[in-house]
């Protein structure tokens, strides 16, 4: 129905559809005779409903984004999708070519176009960069992306991707990594250290997929990591086994602790080893529990530097042959320092609130088990050094090497140089 702004014509209570001319005539009849010669006021004639609908539809169509806008891709943006399952973690990293060219040059022939063959030649270098710059930490275990499982090349890029489309959403490239796990993880931490290479303005739109549900998070240089908790609580037996294995692995791959044990063993008589190892075990068990329960805390930098000094001290003492009847007491004191170092390993493991003491004891038993294997392996060496023809010469050579290694560790840790990671 039209919207009339003048007086209702013909005195009819119900508006009637009339022509413009009829409406104007009725207006003349209602006007004052003195203003008859004046031009009639301009009327704002309403728009026909059908015309209004057509115009509205046209405006809506104009307002809709084009197909290119619907699939727009923001520069300096990448995507990460992590799917968590009981057997493995699947990580998919999606980037445009503009971003990947910051890692390595992809256009080998300089024709301003990247082909699939050119990309495949540089794929190992790109995968190596992401493996070193992205950490996937599973329930406190050693971080790592796992194994690369390939990449997905855009379907419409059979003849390559031209330079003008390096930013296009239609030509994104996805790289996949797969990491196997023994059990459903309790938590997963994803950390990106790519921003120094990709740029301070770069951001990564992340997505965690677990049990069919998706959780979105954004990574940037100010917030490079995210801890995703699954809520899964494994049985206590699995937890104990996990901490036992961690204890064994730590003593085997904790080279500073191995050097300290070596410094003790090379000059000890077989009958004295039991007393020395027992005192070391008792000492580091005490401080391990105290530190893990947050009863006593020491700065990690101080502890690691002190561990290096224990190696230097014992090795220097070995250079001067003399009876050492009280070395077990010295070992006990140094063992207290090493216990704090063992506890630092547990800080990143998200210790459970239930069964905490048993998990700590399981970790400690693992350390002792690994330590016992090392001592048994070195017993023939200790016997040879005590009774062999060139035993003392070998002791001095080994001890001098340990002095140099321990000193290097001490300098590196005091000044936080990061040259000798253990």
| Residue 80 β-bridge partners | 93, 206
Q: Of the candidates 175, 209, 229, which is a domain's last residue?
A: 229
| Residue at a domain's end among 172, 198, 229 | 229
Residue 132: HSE in the Cβ half-sphere, 13 Å Cα cutoff: 9
Average pLDDT over the chain reads 83
pLDDT of residue 55: 56
* pLDDT level of residue 44 (50, 70, 90 thresholds): very low
Model pLDDT, residue 329: 94
The predicted pLDDT at position 271 comes to 79
33 with 120, same domain: the answer is no
CA-wise closest residue to 275 among 332, 222, 340, 328: 328
359 pLDDT more than 80? yes
- When divided into structural domains, the chain yields a total of 3
Alpha helices in 166-299 (DSSP H): 195-198, 236-253, 255-265, 270-292
* SS3 state at 399: helix
Per-residue pLDDT reduced to its tens digit, 74-102: 778 999 999 999 999 999 999 999 999 99
Within this chain, do residues 296 and 343 fall inside the same structural domain, yes or no?
yes
Return the CATH number at 283. Answer: 1.20.1250
Average pLDDT over residues 113-134: 96
> Phi-psi bin for 33: left (phi > 0), alpha (psi -120 to 50), beta?
alpha
Q: Helix, strand or coil for residue 83? A: strand
The pTM of this model reads 0.59
Establish if 2 belongs to a structural domain: no
- What's the mean pLDDT in 148-173? 93
Residue 53's pLDDT is 57
pLDDT value of position 385: 80
Of 229, 263, 293, the residue at which a domain comes to its end is 229
pLDDT surpasses 60 at 2: no
Lowest mean pLDDT among 18-22, 37-41, 274-278, 369-373: 18-22
Q: Are residues 45 and 96 in the same domain?
A: no
Across the range 288-293, mean pLDDT stands at 90
355 pLDDT more than 90: no
pLDDT (0 to 100) of residue 50: 54
- Report how far residue 412's alpha carbon sits from residue 272's, in angstroms, rounded to the nearest whole number: 33
Tokens read off for 224: 């490079």
User: Has residue 109 got a pLDDT over 50?
Assistant: yes
Tell whether 371 and 309 lie within a shared domain.
yes
Q: Give the mean pLDDT of 273-299.
A: 91
Query: In 10 A of CB 331, how many CB atoms?
Result: 25
- Say if 148 falls within a structural domain: yes
407 and 286 in a common domain = yes
pLDDT tens track for 193-216? 999 999 999 999 999 999 999 999
Is there a single domain that holds both residue 270 and residue 327?
A: yes
Q: How far apart are CA 262 and CA 276, in angstroms?
A: 12
Q: Which residues pair with 150 in a beta bridge?
A: 176
What are the backbone angles phi and psi of residue 390, rounded to the nearest 5°? -110, 25
Contact 173, 122 (CB under 8 A): no
What is the full DSSP assignment across 31-74? S-GGGTTSPPPPP-PPPPHHHHHHHHHHHHHHHSPPHHHHT---
Q: Is residue 155 part of a domain?
A: yes
126 touches 110 (CB < 8 A): no
Q: Is the pLDDT reported for residue 251 higher than 50? A: yes
SS3 77: strand
pLDDT of residue 422: 61
Query: Higher pLDDT residue, 397 or 183?
Result: 397
Nearest to 231 by CA among 183, 189, 186, 188: 186
Mean pLDDT to the nearest integer, 129-138: 94
Cα distance between residue 360 and residue 372, in whole Å: 18
The reply to whether 213 and 361 lie within a common domain is no
State what percent of residues in the chain have pLDDT above 70: 80
Residue 141: pLDDT over 80: no
CA dist 256 and 237 (Å) reads 30
**Does residue 100 lie within any of the structural domains?**
yes
CA distance 272 to 275: 5
pLDDT at residue 56, as a whole number: 55
Spatial contact of 216 and 80, defined as CB atoms under 8 Å apart: no
**pLDDT value at residue 21:** 33
154 found inside a domain: yes
| 313 and 167 housed in the same domain | no
pLDDT at 113 over 70: yes
In a shared domain, residues 404 and 255: yes
Residue 120: enclosing H or E segment and its boundaries?
helix 116-133
Give the rounded percent of residues in the chain with a pLDDT score beyond 90: 55
Residue 224 to residue 21: CA distance in whole angstroms: 73
Which range marks the domain in which residue 39 is found? 9-64
Residue range 220-226: mean pLDDT, rounded:
96
Residue 38 — very low, low, confident or very high, per pLDDT cuts 50/70/90? very low
Residues with Cβ within 8 Å of residue 19, at least 6 apart in sequence: none
């Amino acid at each position: 129905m039209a919207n009339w702004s003048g007086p209702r014509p013909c005195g009819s209570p119900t508006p009637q559809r009339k022509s413009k001319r009829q409406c104007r005539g009725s207006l003349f009849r209602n006007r004052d005779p003195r203003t008859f010669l004046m031009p009639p006021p301009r009327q704002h004639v309403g728009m026909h409903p059908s015309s209004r609908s057509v115009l509205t539809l046209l405006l809506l169509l104009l307002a809709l984004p084009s197909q290119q806008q619907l699939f727009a891709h923001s520069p300096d943006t990448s995507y990460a999708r992590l799917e968590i399952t009981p057997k493995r973690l699947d990580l998919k990293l999606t980037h445009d070519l503009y971003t990947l060219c910051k890692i390595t040059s992809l256009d080998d022939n300089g024709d301003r176009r990247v082909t699939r063959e050119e990309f495949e030649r540089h794929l190992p270098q790109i995968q190596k960069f992401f493996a070193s710059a992205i950490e996937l930490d599973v329930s406190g275990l050693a971080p790592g992306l796992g194994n690369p499982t390939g990449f997905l090349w855009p379907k419409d890029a059979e003849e390559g991707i031209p330079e003008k489309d390096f930013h296009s959403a239609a030509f994104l490239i996805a790289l996949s990594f797969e990491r196997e796990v023994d059990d459903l993880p309790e938590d997963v931490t994803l950390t990106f250290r790519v921003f120094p290479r990709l740029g301070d303005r770069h951001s990564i739109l992340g997505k965690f997929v677990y049990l069919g549900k998706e959780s979105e998070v954004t990574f940037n240089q100010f917030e490079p990591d995210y801890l995703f908790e699954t809520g899964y609580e494994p049985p206590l037996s699995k937890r104990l086994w996990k901490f036992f294995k961690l204890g064994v692995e730590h003593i085997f791959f904790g080279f500073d602790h191995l050097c300290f044990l070596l410094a003790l063993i090379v000059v000890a008589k077989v009958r004295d080893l039991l007393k020395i190892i027992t005192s070391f075990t008792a000492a580091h068990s005490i401080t391990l529990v105290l530190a893990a329960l947050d009863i006593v805390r020491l700065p990690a930098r101080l502890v690691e530097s002190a561990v290096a000094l224990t190696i230097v001290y014992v090795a220097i003492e070995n250079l001067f042959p003399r009876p050492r009847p009280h070395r077990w007491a010295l070992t006990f004191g140094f063992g207290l320092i090493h216990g704090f170092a063992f506890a630092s390993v547990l800080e990143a493991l998200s210790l459970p609130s239930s069964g905490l003491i048993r998990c700590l004891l399981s970790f400690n038993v693992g350390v002792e088990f690994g330590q016992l294997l090392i001592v048994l392996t070195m017993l023939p060496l200790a016997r040879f050094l005590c009774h062999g023809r060139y035993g003392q010469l070998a002791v001095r050579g080994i001890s001098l090497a340990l002095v140099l290694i321990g000193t290097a560790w001490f300098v590196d840790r005091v000044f936080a140089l990061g040259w000798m990671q253990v």
